[in-house]
Amino acid sequence: MADETVHHHVQLRPKVESQYDDDVAFGRVLDLFLPRAVQDAARDNLTAFAGAVVSPQVLGWLADAEEHLPYMNHWDSWGETNDVLRTSKGWNNLWNFASSASSQFHLTLSDGVAHLLSLHLAGSKLDSPTRALFQHAHGRLTSANPSTAWTSGLWMTERGGGSDLTPTETTATYEPRTETTSGADADTDADGFPLGPWRLDGFKWFSTGTEAAMAIVVAKTAKGLSTFYVPTRRRVLVNGTMRTELNGVRIRRLKNKLGTKALPTAELEINGMRGWLIGEDGRGVKELGVVLNVTRVHLAVFGLGVMGRALAATRAFARVRRVARGTKLSSVPLHMRTLAKAHVTYRGHMLLGFFVASLLAHAEQQTGQQTEQQTRPERAAKFQAMPQSPQDVQCLLRLLSPVAKATTAKALCTVSQVAMEALGGVGYMENEDMRFNLARHFRDAPALTIGEGTTDVLATDVVKVLKGSIGPAVVRALGRWVTATLPAGEATALERDAVVQQWNELDTAISSNTVESLTLHGQEIMDHVRTLVAAVLLLVAFETDADPVTLEIARRWMGLHRPLGGWTNVETELSIDQKIVFGSRPTWDAEE
């Protein structure tokens, strides 16, 4: 089929579809996690946003950002050091719009840092200057106004360590400014707040948020690893004129990456950067954990978004692409089986991602569960996706945020490859039409397997959670949740027994093996947790919508396939696969 046919088809259906052809079905899934009143209040805004992110304007910005990549101007016209980072109009427009297409890492970090600052602001240990600064930064990070909003960087990776922060060479020395050492030209940041009493020196090998207004920087003090708030720019007085410059940091070069090329990532030389200590000196890993708990949830959901966009392109293509004897791809059994496998993967990870996001919301707002019970008593009596106790919420969030991020990122790599292949040669092209540039999705996807912890790093973290000091509480919380959440109906008896067996196997593996042994099989443990939790949620989804296709998705997710050669009716199997891919309504032959 010529590309014009695809183009014509998309013009007829300009809205990128969700997995479901009917919003009612999708709403029933959301009922597992959100009160209906919240859904109703947010629906109009979310619908408008969903339409905007796939509009020609926003996709045009994305194309511009991909075509005009960021670059450095190291010198001004007179040969003086300049170090100005140049980004395209498309990138700047995406940033202002807060689209996740390329600026997601900035938004992710900013949300995590805002949460970190909010926890310290809620306490009573901050002195007045620090409190005023953190309050100002928090307001900027949470602002929805592009003219005042900030993003934050997270600068921790160094040449010697990668995800391991132990070899960190950047140092922080407490050197408060005095009247004899200070001056009006070097004592305030770009917003007029005093520069911090700590001096940072070192080198960061891989830093996201290079152009951010602030950053969280990891450095060693005499007491160990610590975290610091640093403004990226400071005021200086030059020939009687006040201007701003980088706050003791030099952008040495931008990284040349496989994907996420529109996102500037840099090597940074730090020399005399002034900053403020966050939390306790020597306990920086604890502070980083707060940020990473949030960012990993973000990245899991971001992976779902990219997965959904890629699969939407495959559905649109399958509806119009004709192969031998004029048959559409949507009626080719093997092609539909391939797409159905990808959609089952997407569906399971989607429920896992929604669940972890809900856990995060409940953890941040301890009254959330009570509010949900009051607004939806009939739902609370029948089923709650949320654990009953705040302690169990915290335990499951700590366990499942790395699981969701790592396993969704790996699934995205697989699904994006399947989607690219499903479009054939068109899928392999770097198309200027961003609706069908699946090659970009494929090269961007591996970034999620590395950012905020590689798969092995997160698998190791999961084992530490399960076998560490909070391990017994986490295992008990997971067991309670599985037992309380599994549907009791006869329609899912076989699947329920399979889930119970999966849980018993996991529980036995955790209790009967050493940390070293479990770490060796860390990815398998993580995959087991992912499959178990999503299976429970899929079965509850079936209890909610009573759709046999939902139960079939749950069975396929759990690996409850019939033996090879057991499929006796190809037409029946094709019909089921079509419903898994396109939804409950037979729309795959609607356009001729």
Q: What is the pLDDT of residue 50?
A: 85
Q: Which residues contact 287 (CB under 8 A, 6 or more apart)?
A: 116, 216, 227, 278, 279
Instruction: Look up residue 232 and give its DSSP letter.
Output: S
Q: Which residues contact 310 (CB under 8 A, 6 or more apart)?
A: 415, 416, 419, 420, 438, 441
Q: What is the pLDDT of residue 177?
A: 78
Average pLDDT value for residue range 85-109: 81
Can you list the alpha helix ranges (DSSP code H) found in 425-569? 425-428, 438-444, 446-450, 455-467, 471-485, 493-512, 515-520, 522-545, 548-558
CATH 3.10.20.310 fits 71-282, yes or no: no
For residue 28, pLDDT beyond 50 = yes
Q: Could you tell me which residues are beta bridge partners of residue 71?
A: 86
Compute how many other C-beta atoms are within 10 angstroms of the C-beta atom of residue 79: 7
Q: Which carries the bigger pLDDT value, residue 261 or residue 466?
A: 466
> CA-based angle 123:126:132, to the nearest 5?
105
**Dihedral, 233, 235, 238, 239 alpha carbons, nearest 10:** 150
For residue 249, pLDDT beyond 80 = yes
Q: What is the pLDDT of residue 585?
A: 57
- Could you read off the pLDDT of 443-501 as tens digits, one per residue? 999 999 998 889 999 999 999 999 999 999 999 999 999 999 999 888 899 999 999 99
- Could you read off the pLDDT of 158-187 as tens digits, one per residue? 888 777 788 899 999 999 976 545 554 458
Cα separation of 241 and 585, whole Å? Answer: 67
- Total residue count of the chain as it appears in this document: 592
Cβ distance 265 to 444 under 8 Å?
no
For residue 377, pLDDT beyond 50 = no
Q: To the nearest whole number, what is the mean pLDDT of the chain? A: 86
For the domain 289-582, what is the CATH code?
Answer: 1.20.140.10
- What are residue 431's phi and psi, to 5 degrees? -70, 140
Q: Which carries the bigger pLDDT value, residue 33 or residue 267?
A: 267
Q: How far is CA 563 from the centre of its chain?
A: 36
Enumerate the CATH 1.20.140.10 domain ranges in the chain, comma separated.
289-582
Enumerate the CATH 2.40.110.20 domain ranges in the chain, comma separated.
71-282
- What are residue 573's phi and psi, to 5 degrees? -65, -40
- What are residue 204's phi and psi, to 5 degrees? -115, 130
Q: Which of 22, 9, 10, 50 is nearest to 583 (CA)?
A: 22
